[in-house]
Amino acid sequence: MAKKYIKQTTPFVVPTTDGKVIREHFGLASINDGPYSMAHMIAPPGWSEPFQTPEFDEITFVFRGQKEIIIDGEAPIILGAGESLLIKKNCRVKYANPFEEETEYISICMPAFSIDLVNREAMPNVPLPILEKVSNTCQQLEKEFALIPAERKALLNRLSTYLADKYQQQKTPQLIVICTHNSRRSHLGQLWLSVAADYYGLPQIATFSGGTEATAFNIRAVNALKKLGFDITSKTFKSPTNPIYEIKWQEAASPYQAFSKKYDSSPNPSSDFGAIMVCTSADVGCPVISGADFRLALPFEDPKAFDDTPLESDKYTERSLDIGREMLYVLSQV
């Protein structure tokens, strides 16, 4: 007989770049269930989100501190400890913590929160300092843009134009980087896109990765990122063979959670996203990516060919740098 309850001991830590801590206990990202979601959040002093018009009802309950809620056309509402607020769907609203102390609260959404339903408006990114070694790597890769062949730049410029168009429409761009196993190149592509956006201080960009099947984020690719200065720890598992890695490239930001998943699995968006195909087999094997409004075949050589050889470490580092160089070029053109 199936249990009629779920005890959550390992909530999904949502990746953020603004210092906010989000732990989803129930919802699409944590248990892949959509009627409702509940998340525990801690927002640092000075934090704010752009305006959004969600397609879900949202209840906020504040444990400590204060939270500012600005509903379009009305005076700000200040929610204090022990107070709650219900905001109905299709209401344009902005959440913030302009106060000197952090605020801790829970958010309950019905139906569940998803990036597809929040309808968040784009806003300028407030850059946080990038870890020194990662920043130094970015500076070196910038100097190497001339190494990118002209025909490759033509492909990359298409992605730059797509991102610029989304910003022009006041939308937060969403990208899913896809390869067959979501184990190497797709993770590297997603992470370098996020790093490049932060490096150039661009407005918010939402990056994701996925595969045509789920395996694991390969430890060799993880080690290549560590070698280039990324702060990476492994704490929990999606399954015994699929670790969740917490990755940081900014000291003050919450870690990004990386694990292998199919490209159409949560928390990836299901509509209004660009699909970047970084291996030929995934591009051929997925003639249609449902929900994508842009698709680009951008294959990179697979470092897997050098597994368990004397060249293994060097080739994984080389591929990470190749991908980093091109993702930085993309964002430099936006």
Q: For residue 80, tell me if it sits in a domain.
A: yes
**DSSP result, 129-145:** PBPHHHHHHHHHHHTTG
pLDDT band at 299 (very low <50, low <70, confident <90, very high): very high
Average pLDDT rounded to a whole number, residues 297-325: 97
Tens-digit pLDDT profile for residues 130-157? 999 999 999 999 999 999 999 999 999 9
Residues 216 and 98 in one domain: no
Q: For residue 6, tell me if it sits in a domain.
A: no
Res. 332: pLDDT tops 90? yes
157/163 Cα distance (integer angstroms): 10
Tens-digit pLDDT profile for residues 175-229? 999 999 999 999 999 999 999 999 998 887 899 999 999 999 999 999 999 999 9
Higher-confidence position of 171 and 113? 113
> Which tokens is 102 given?
């952090």
Residues 149 and 246 in one domain: yes
Q: CA angle, 250 as apex, 43 and 101 as ends, to 5°? A: 25
Residue 61: exposure state from Cβ atoms within 10 A (0-12, 13-18, ≥19): middle
76/66 Cα distance (integer angstroms): 12
Q: Which of 68, 84, 118 is the last residue of a domain?
A: 118
Tens-digit pLDDT profile for residues 21-78? 999 999 998 888 889 999 999 998 888 888 999 999 999 999 999 999 999 878 889 9
Res. 300: pLDDT tops 90? yes
User: Domain total for the chain?
Assistant: 2
Q: For residue 4, tell me if it sits in a domain.
A: no
Average model confidence (pLDDT) across the chain: 91
Give the model's pLDDT for residue 238.
63
Residues 94 and 196 in one domain: no
Residues 151 and 238 in one domain: yes
Higher-confidence position of 294 and 17? 294
Give the model's pLDDT for residue 127.
66
Here the CATH number for the domain that contains residue 113 is 2.60.120.10
Share of the chain above pLDDT 90, in %: 68
pLDDT band at 126 (very low <50, low <70, confident <90, very high): low
28/113 Cα distance (integer angstroms): 7
pLDDT band at 125 (very low <50, low <70, confident <90, very high): low
Q: For residue 99, tell me if it sits in a domain.
A: yes
Here the CATH number for the domain that contains residue 231 is 3.40.50.2300
pLDDT band at 19 (very low <50, low <70, confident <90, very high): confident
Residues 110 and 225 in one domain: no
Give the model's pLDDT for residue 32.
86
Pairing of strands 273-277, 256-258: unpaired
**Predicted TM-score (pTM) of this structure:** 0.71
Higher-confidence position of 42 and 172? 42
Owning domain of residue 239 = 132-332
334/205 Cα distance (integer angstroms): 12
